[in-house]
């Protein structure tokens, strides 16, 4: 059996002291990640840091980079499978610690930790159309940009005017609309890094109509998705010309269960945590789905969810 990677405690405590100087009161050691993922699974993060300013984000990134430490950034954990052995090194979360919205018609600027649903609601309240599709996506702005979150035929990258990023070497970059690519569930940014802010460009619309559309979309979600159980949305990307859910259903896998993880009876592209799932159960279920769908249809489904951490 492979030996688990563990970091010496004194090294972790030394990094904690350093990080606490950069982000006072915002560092924890051994943070359970099941508290920060919508699947409610995942081991502990060695060092968990929640900066509140762009300067703090940059300082943490520079610190991590200069020491060559492993690094992860997360938002609302709604597209993440953190493995049971947890996350080595430093994990940065940009969520309620890093929120803010400013409206300057037709633009809305949001800090990366702001929930996309809040941005969509603010747009509606201001009579700005273009983010109705996002009303039920439980993403932070940072996670939504990087995943190019989308639904009902629209996606985030189509609405972006610019994105501010701190690259993993600490360099600050602003990407303009023309530099962004619109690809299905793929990062539209030309360079990797931590998204700190996004500016959305919207259009004037009828407030009542915007609210009606958002409600219609949310109603459809409530009808089709198993929202009463911990889940991470669609587990697999749709392959060209088919939907992953249909293929999984036709492979006879609806309701298929491994440990506490189950292919939802309601929506076959959702895996739900029925209470006591581990990340290992979910990984095994993902592999089983891939194998069974490949055997039946010759299509290898690509996970949409990001799998990180140590098994």
Residue ranges in contact with ligand FAD by CB under 6 A: 38, 73-80, 94, 112, 137-140, 142-144, 146-147, 149-151, 194-195, 225, 227, 231-233, 306
Q: Encoding tokens for residue 126?
A: 């201001």
Does the N-terminal peptide bond of residue 121 adopt cis geometry, omega within 30 degrees of 0?
A: no
Residue 113 CB, nearest approach to ligand FAD (Å): 7
Nearer to ligand FAD, 15 or 156 (CB): 156
Q: Kindly list the catalytic residues.
A: 185, 234, 304
Residue 163 CB, nearest approach to ligand FAD (Å): 9
Nearer to ligand FAD, 56 or 79 (CB): 79
Nearer to ligand FAD, 149 or 251 (CB): 149
Residue 8 CB, nearest approach to ligand FAD (Å): 26
* CA distance linking residue 311 with residue 296, whole number of Å: 29
Residue 1 CB, nearest approach to ligand FAD (Å): 28
Strand partners, 29: 47
With H, G, I as helix, E, B as strand and everything else as coil, classify residue 86. Answer: strand
Instruction: Tell me if 18 sits within 8 A of 63, measured CB to CB.
Output: yes
Nearer to ligand FAD, 252 or 307 (CB): 307
List CB contacts of 196: < 8 A, sequence separation 6 or more: 54, 57, 94, 98, 111, 112, 142, 164, 165, 166
Nearer to ligand FAD, 140 or 262 (CB): 140
* List of E strands, 20-120: 27-32, 44-49, 71-74, 80-82, 87-93, 101-104, 107-111
* CA distance linking residue 153 with residue 173, whole number of Å: 29
Exposed, middle or buried, 89 (CB in 10 Å: 0-12/13-18/19+)? middle
Positive or negative, the Cα torsion across 281, 282, 284, 285? Answer: positive
Residue 209 CB, nearest approach to ligand FAD (Å): 21
Nearer to ligand FAD, 184 or 297 (CB): 184
DSSP-assigned states of every residue in 165-226: EEETTS-EEEEEGGG----TTS---SS-EEEEEEEEE-EE--HHHHHHHHHHHHHHHHHHS-
Residue 258 CB, nearest approach to ligand FAD (Å): 20
């Amino acid at each position: 059996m492979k030996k688990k990677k563990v970091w010496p405690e004194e090294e972790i405590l030394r990094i904690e002291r350093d990080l606490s100087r950069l982000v006072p009161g915002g560092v924890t050691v051994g943070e359970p990640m099941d508290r920060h993922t919508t699947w409610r699974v995942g081991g502990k993060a060695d060092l968990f840091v929640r900066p509140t300013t762009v300067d703090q984000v940059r300082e943490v990134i520079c610190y991590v980079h200069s020491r060559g430490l492993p690094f992860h950034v997360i938002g609302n954990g709604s597209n993440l499978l953190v493995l049971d052995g947890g996350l080595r090194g430093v994990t940065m979360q940009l969520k309620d610690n890093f929120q803010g919205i400013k409206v300057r018609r037709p633009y809305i600027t949001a800090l990366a930790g702001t929930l996309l649903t809040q941005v969509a609601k603010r747009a509606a309240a201001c009579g700005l159309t273009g983010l109705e599709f996002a009303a039920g996506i439980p993403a932070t702005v940072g996670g939504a940009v990087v995943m190019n979150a989308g639904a009902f035929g629209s996606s985030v990258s189509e609405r972006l005017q610019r994105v501010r990023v701190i690259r993993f070497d600490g360099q600050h970059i602003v990407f303009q609309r023309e530099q962004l690519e619109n690809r299905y569930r793929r990062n539209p940014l030309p360079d990797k890094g931590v998204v700190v802010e996004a500016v959305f460009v919207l259009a004037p619309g009828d407030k009542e109509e915007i609210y009606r559309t958002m409600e219609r979309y949310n109603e459809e979600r409530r009808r089709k998705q198993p929202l009463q159980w911990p889940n991470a949305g669609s587990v697999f990307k749709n392959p060209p010309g088919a939907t992953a859910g249909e293929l999984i259903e036709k492979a006879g896998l609806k309701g298929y269960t491994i440990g506490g993880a189950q292919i939802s009876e309601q929506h076959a592209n959702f895996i739900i945590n029925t209470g006591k799932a581990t990340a290992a159960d979910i990984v095994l279920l993902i592999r089983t789905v891939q194998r069974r769908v490949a055997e039946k249809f010759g299509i290898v489904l690509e996970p949409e969810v990001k799998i990180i951490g140590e098994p």
